Structure 1
Amino acid sequence: MFQALIAEDSKPILRNLKALLQTSGLPIQVAAVATNGEEALEICHHNAIDILITDIRMPKMDGLTLIDQAKKINAKLKVVLISGYNDFEYTRKAINLQVCDYLLKPVERSQMMEVMERVVIQLIEEHHTESSVFDGIMDQSASRLMKLEPVFFEQSKLLWVVRKQIFTPLSDHWDSGIIKMRLTEAFEGHPFWLFPTQDPLQLLILTMLLSLRATITI
């Protein structure tokens, strides 16, 4: 499910856009809404947003400035610009900010569906490309559901393999949820990624830590 943020200062239009997305049947969840650019940017700082739908003219921070700043947080962010017929010059400038598409006011359902379907296709294609590095390693069902956040690509990774010993008895401790909890304690707030592999007795861990100072007991 892809996470969307709608930034629009007109509350009726905001409600309409949210309702259109929620009833679209597309794999998009409205994670948050904002009525000005500064509020929207703050949401981008604290949430993993895949799609930004923003008006051009907003108080405190206009849509183009918001797009520029939001893409510094997440370069892979997909942006759909909302504009009126009188905002064509702004729309032209938005092309330089790598805006995916635009919606003209008043936004109609057919128009919204056409644009958002294209955005979803782009996201799915990118996701498939990113996750293909795990082909032949990860469990295929988990690979299809995997979603890598932008922070994953920021640095090189250390790879760890956790494997259940063959002759040890079965235990509730060999559970991905419990293991993830132990790793969270061990890595002390540093990011890590835990993936199931094709071997049910083996898990793959990727971390940006240079060293592991804690002992993990599972």
Structure 2
Amino acid sequence: MLRVIVADDEPVIRNGIVHLIESSGLDLKVAGTAEDGREAVELVQKLDPEIIIMDINMPQLNGLEAIGEIRKSSPDCRILIVSGYSDFAYAQQAIDLGVCKYLLKPLDIHGFVPILQQAMDSWTQLHRKSDPASVSEEDAFQDKGLAAFHYVRDHFTENTLNLTDAAQRFYLSPSYLSRIIKEKTSLSFTDYLNRLRIDLAESLMLENPGMTMNEVALQCGYSSQHYFSRAFKNYTGMTPIAFKNKPR
């Protein structure tokens, strides 16, 4: 059973999230709750949870400051942000801190449980504990392959991300990681990476119409606006400007 800490300064929201977790049917236990960022940091240091659900606007330390402290001692815990702020600057800081999901209040109750399951799966694949004597070499490679796949999914906004480095991080060959990605998505590594980035770009342009194309490109992991525009058109059949200006 994985342990969860819920941090939110609003009791109604904090208790509501706890109720959602406890009634989800997932193999999760709420190990503790916090009403400010400092208390959240102290709880994490004491309880070492696998998953943290964090608000941004809290006293003592805000959520992003608290996550920065938490990452020093718990670099692999899965963190979900639940916030009333839709400003992309907050979302980008969250991405930089390795947050799994940035969710806006009010929570979509039906969509929250699958997101919890994703966080559980991500942590379990990375930290699966098994008796080495009972694990075949193929099983070990599959575990590493899934961990590498999740790494690509969680770090696609880094413009230095590439197949070789991602594979070597988990002591895999690039061809093996490419095969895992193909099995999971029916896409090549490059196509999968572009799909993640273009999907994010579309969301950014819809939610933040004031962003320039260069800002969108950099936030999505592209090293230049030119490369972003070419990839976007190849993927969607239209330029980013045409997509942004399309009547809705």
The residue that corresponds to 1:184 in the other structure is none
In the alignment, is residue 67 of structure 1 matched against residue 67 of structure 2?
A: yes
Provide structure 2 residue ranges, at least 5 long, that are not aligned to the other structure.
136-248
Instruction: Give the alignment of 1:145-156 within 5 angstroms.
Output: none
Contact 1:80 1:101 in 2 (8 A): yes
Instruction: Give the alignment of 1:171-182 within 5 angstroms.
Output: none
Contact 1:55 1:83 in 2 (8 A): yes
The residue that corresponds to 1:107 in the other structure is 107
Contact 1:102 1:115 in 2 (8 A): no
* Mapped partners of 2:30, 2:51: distance in 1: 9
* Mapped partners of 1:18, 1:87: distance in 2: 26
> Out of 107, 126, 135, which is 2:132 matched to?
135
* Mapped partners of 1:51, 1:74: distance in 2: 10
* Offset, 1:8: 0.1
Contact 1:26 1:117 in 2 (8 A): yes
Q: Percent identity?
A: 32
In the alignment, is residue 78 of structure 1 matched against residue 75 of structure 2?
A: no
- Comparing both chains, which one has the higher relative contact order based on Cα–Cα distances under 8 Å and sequence gaps of 6 or more? 1
* Mapped partners of 1:118, 1:77: distance in 2: 13
Label 1:86 to 1:122 Cα distance change in 2 as closer, same or farther (>3 A).
Answer: closer
Instruction: Give the alignment of 1:188-203 within 5 angstroms.
Output: none
The residue that corresponds to 1:52 in the other structure is 52
Amino acid in structure 1 at the alignment position of 2:74: N
**Stretches of 4+ aligned residues off by more than 4 angstroms:** none
Task: Tell me how large the CA RMSD over aligned residues is.
Answer: 1.6
Per residue, is there more helix in 1 or in 2?
A: 2
* Offset, 1:85: 4.5
* Offset, 1:135: 2.2
* Mapped partners of 1:12, 1:82: distance in 2: 13
Per residue, is there more strand in 1 or in 2?
A: 1
TM-score (norm: length of structure 2)? 0.52
The residue that corresponds to 2:152 in the other structure is none
* Offset, 1:89: 1.7
TM-score (norm: length of structure 1)? 0.59
In the alignment, is residue 27 of structure 1 matched against residue 24 of structure 2?
A: no
* Offset, 1:126: 1.4
Label 1:136 to 1:35 Cα distance change in 2 as closer, same or farther (>3 A).
Answer: same
* Mapped partners of 2:15, 2:4: distance in 1: 14
* Offset, 1:87: 3.5
The residue that corresponds to 2:183 in the other structure is none
* Mapped partners of 1:71, 1:110: distance in 2: 29
Contact 1:51 1:79 in 2 (8 A): yes
* Mapped partners of 2:102, 2:91: distance in 1: 8
The residue that corresponds to 1:123 in the other structure is 123
- Structure 2 counterpart SS, 1:136: helix
* Mapped partners of 2:102, 2:24: distance in 1: 17
The residue that corresponds to 1:204 in the other structure is none
- Structure 2 counterpart SS, 1:92: helix
Q: Which structure would you say has the larger Rg?
A: 1
Contact 1:103 1:111 in 2 (8 A): no
